[in-house]
Structure 1
Amino acid sequence: MKIGVDLGGTKVKAGIEFNGEIIHQNTVFLQEKESMSATLEQLFDLIRPLTQHPIGSIGIGVPSVVDVEKGIVYNVANIPSWEKVALRDILEEEFNIPVYVNNDANCFSLGEHRYGVAQHYNSVVGMTIGTGLGSGIIIDNQLYNGSNCGAGEIGLLPYREHNLEYYAGSNFFEAIHGTTALLVSNAALDGDKKALRLWQEFGVHLGFAIKAAMYTYDPEAIVLGGSIAKAYSFFEGGMREALEDFAYPETLKRIKILQSQNDDIALLGAAALVLQDAKVPVSSLR
């Protein structure tokens, strides 16, 4: 059994991976984020009850650049006190269990590849659509980190006067249109024409991000997750429209665009970091 942890800017989730499922899951909302010691204590308190079980390792996904070899996280999003935290060493000292640290979008992608809808593909791009647009890359059945754990940051590519994630994340609704994705989704469910047009427009922007991933990595599959991805049926049309001018028609026919089906997939991916580090063959997990 392995513990998976998903550290967000407002809350942290943790659970035990057992036979490809998450059990004994707990969540805590972060308090006193200006204090590194206070947030670490919250993290300890969340994990500690889970270590009463026979745990082999802890994997944790963090919204930041990560020194994967040393387990150090830098400038964690929305946690101002976490400018540089030797997270692996801190957790290993606290729990005396091997710890693996990586970017949260990478954990999402690894989880989908090992346990989710992308299990049967060798090359995958996972995209988490929420506050921003995070991406993780699987190449030849292995997570690709890049030199600084920054590979796959497609959302930060320049686009219009900002970048892709400004238009293909929550800012599209909040900063540009003065609303929220949830409100627009609820209105679309009621058939509101303006809401449906907004989702169509959002899908076009996301389509540009997907084209960037296709041109860069040429994956077999792209998996969409995160809170906004739950509105897939509303933005799929605009997304497909944006893909129509993709330069390679055969590639466009073959690409699989999938929707995440498991709310615990980031925890499963974090727990699987030990397998990634050990280069365990994917076939042995199926």
Structure 2
Amino acid sequence: MESPKSNIDDGYQNVFVMRHGDRIDNFEPLWVSTAEKPWDPPLVQDGMIRAFRTGQRIRSQIGFPIHRVFVSPFLRCAQTASEVVAALSAVNVDPNAMSSKDVPSIDNSKLKVSIEFGLCEMLNAVAIRRELAPKDGNFDFSISDLEAMFPEGMVDRNVDMVYKELPKWEESVEGCRDRYVKVVKALADKYPSENLLLVTHGEGVGTTFSTFYKDTTVYEVDYCAYVELRREPSSKDGSVKAGEYEVVLSHGKAGIRFSHDPVSHEPVISQSPV
């Protein structure tokens, strides 16, 4: 049961929704020809570095802690989250550090990580080439292997997933977008007194941005781009409730290219996330 006492330092619940880092198949096209799981590419080294630096940037800019991280079961998302949380929870922050290998120690006592099936990639041919998808529809994710990527004591295995199983292959694009919005809202409502980071895929970030920042069309979401949502909680009768979501535009749209002009449809180019 959630405690009515709020952990929030700045008066708002803050929810970051982030895309994973640079995936190997977009840089080494032949990788898929020999991969055991061609539908589940890992990050390249530059993706690891980008993820770590994005974690550093978030830590330096926001001025409040992240309490929980929820991660898509795809390998690239778990690797991204591992680098980001290393930067967020490093005890001694070296501004020249490039990755989690450069972090001597981290504080596992506060930040918690959990896998969430509902944050997974769109399971259709729009996102995953049909010839690369598993023929039997079994994406074969090992949750224990993904959890082992995080420091001991950081993974919270007592959290119930919003989606108990993966969506079925060939889910619709609209169904996937509805799924992303449902998961963001459900996790925020489940932990209203905590700040969250959700590591997912480009469609999840773009959908979140266009849903909560009205009258926008998202054109592109960079690697490790993120949107920040916040809402003001209020405590009534010992319970914590929260108001409407708003997108924090000061640093909450890094790496997202979008249009917010219903007349001219001129694109807005946001700042790169690193």
Higher helix proportion (structure 1 or 2): 1
TM-score range, shorter chain: 0.3 to 0.5
TM-score with structure 2 setting the length = 0.35
TM-score with structure 1 setting the length = 0.34
Say which structure, 1 or 2, has more relative contact order (CA 8 Å, 6+ apart).
Answer: 2
Higher strand proportion (structure 1 or 2): 1
